[in-house]
């Protein structure tokens, strides 16, 4: 009788663990981060473009008022990301590994432009 109860308990624990693992996989991975401008301040409403290394079509999200972004329900894969805002771009951040059930954080810095837009030079002059 005790063996039967113990066996049922082991099976129940295994089923709960498998269910939890399946729920994590279904929810996917999460990628969060912040976009900083050439002045090292967060960039509100910047665009963050991302795509999987496997060739998934590019997608984009926008940062909030504090320059933060969150991308949810990502498949376990390797991703490439780039941010842009106010005429300035970041380098491509390549080979960012995302695993289902986990959250990865990243900082993207806007550094490339033909010339630094006035939106950034004005804020520097005030400091």
Rounded distance, CA 84 to CA 33, Å? 14
Over residues 36-65, the mean pLDDT reads 91
Q: Is the pTM of this model over 0.85?
A: no
Q: What is the pLDDT of residues 62-100, one digit of tens each?
A: 999 999 999 999 999 999 999 999 888 999 999 999 999
User: Domains of the chain by range and CATH?
Assistant: 29-126 (2.60.40.1120)
Percent of the chain residues past pLDDT 90, beyond the cut = 56
**E strands in 1-127:** 29-36, 47-52, 59-62, 68-74, 77-85, 88-90, 93-98, 103-112
Q: 10-14, 32-36, 72-76: lowest mean pLDDT where?
A: 10-14
């Amino acid at each position: 009788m005790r063996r039967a109860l113990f066996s049922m308990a082991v099976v129940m624990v295994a089923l709960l663990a498998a269910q939890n693992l399946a729920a994590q996989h279904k929810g996917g991975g999460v990628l969060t981060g912040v976009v900083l401008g050439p002045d090292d301040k967060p960039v509100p409403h910047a665009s963050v473009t991302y795509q999987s290394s496997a060739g998934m079509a590019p997608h984009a999200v926008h940062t909030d008022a504090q320059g933060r972004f969150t991308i949810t329900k990502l498949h376990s894969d390797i991703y490439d990301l780039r941010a842009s805002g106010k005429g300035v771009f970041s380098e491509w951040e390549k080979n960012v590994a995302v695993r289902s059930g986990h959250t990865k954080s990243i900082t993207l810095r806007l550094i490339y432009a033909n010339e630094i837009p006035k939106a950034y030079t004005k804020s520097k002059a005030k400091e």
